[in-house]
């Protein structure tokens, strides 16, 4: 585990949300229905004029295939982002609780070292937390 993967976690979380929204938009395009009225007559005698209401989707077979391909690409993107999230969360569960809190506040929430120290309490200061974090990261490489 390195700092790059930790920062990728933040991007992966955002990517999952954004991709879910894009997939939802694609599905709404599939649902879009066009309606219209056509004039005609009874098929048998007496022939009388009638109005027929028709409805269907606004796109054809090729458009449907294109939407399915886009949806598949988005699903793959979402799956990779979720994999990064899962790897990072598994790693977080394997490290000491204090370090979990430091990583959460400093890396995930983007707080300064002093703000992180304030959240941790216990007479911690920014410089000591920074050194503790760097020493911990050296050990796991």
Give per-residue pLDDT as tens, 80-138: 999 999 988 898 899 999 999 999 998 888 899 999 999 988 788 889 999 999 998 88
Q: How many C-beta neighbours within 10 Å does residue 106 have?
A: 21
Q: Would you state the pLDDT for residue 100?
A: 92
More confident residue, 58 or 34: 34
What DSSP character marks residue 47?
A: P
Cite the beta strand spans of the chain per DSSP E.
33-41, 49-57
Residue 123, classed as helix, strand or coil, is: coil
The pTM score is 0.63
Residue 4, classed as helix, strand or coil, is: helix
Q: How far apart are CA 68 and CA 59, in angstroms?
A: 13
Closest CA to 63 of 32, 35, 37: 32
More confident residue, 31 or 127: 127
Long-range contacts of 53-56 (CB under 8 A, 24+ apart): none
Q: Hey, which residues does 53 pair with through a beta bridge? A: 37
- Summarize pLDDT for 80-93 with one digit per residue, the tens: 999 999 988 898 89
Q: Would you state the pLDDT for residue 64?
A: 74
Q: Would you state the pLDDT for residue 141?
A: 65
Residue appearing with tokens 């979402």: 78
- Contacts of residue 119, defined as CB under 8 A and 6 or more positions apart, other chains included, come to 101, 105, 111
Quickly state the pLDDT bin for 7 (edges 50, 70, 90): confident
Q: Is the peptide bond before 88 cis (omega within 30 degrees of 0)?
A: no
Mean pLDDT for the chain overall: 85
First CA to last CA distance, the chain: 7
Reply yes or no on whether the pLDDT at 140 is more than 90. no
């Amino acid at each position: 585990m390195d700092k790059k993967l930790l920062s990728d976690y933040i991007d992966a979380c955002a990517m999952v949300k954004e991709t879910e929204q894009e997939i939802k938009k694609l599905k709404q395009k599939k649902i879009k229905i066009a309606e219209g009225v056509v004039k005609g007559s009874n098929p048998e005698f007496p022939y009388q004029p009638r109005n027929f209401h028709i409805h269907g989707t606004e796109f054809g077979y090729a458009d449907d295939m294109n939407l399915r391909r886009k949806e598949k690409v988005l699903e793959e993107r979402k799956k990779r982002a979720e994999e990064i999230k899962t790897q990072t969360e598994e790693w977080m569960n394997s490290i000491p609780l204090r370090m979990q809190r430091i990583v959460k506040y400093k890396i995930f929430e983007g707080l300064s070292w002093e703000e992180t120290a304030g959240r941790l309490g216990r007479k911690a200061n920014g410089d000591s937390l920074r050194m503790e974090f760097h020493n911990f990261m050296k050990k796991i490489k």
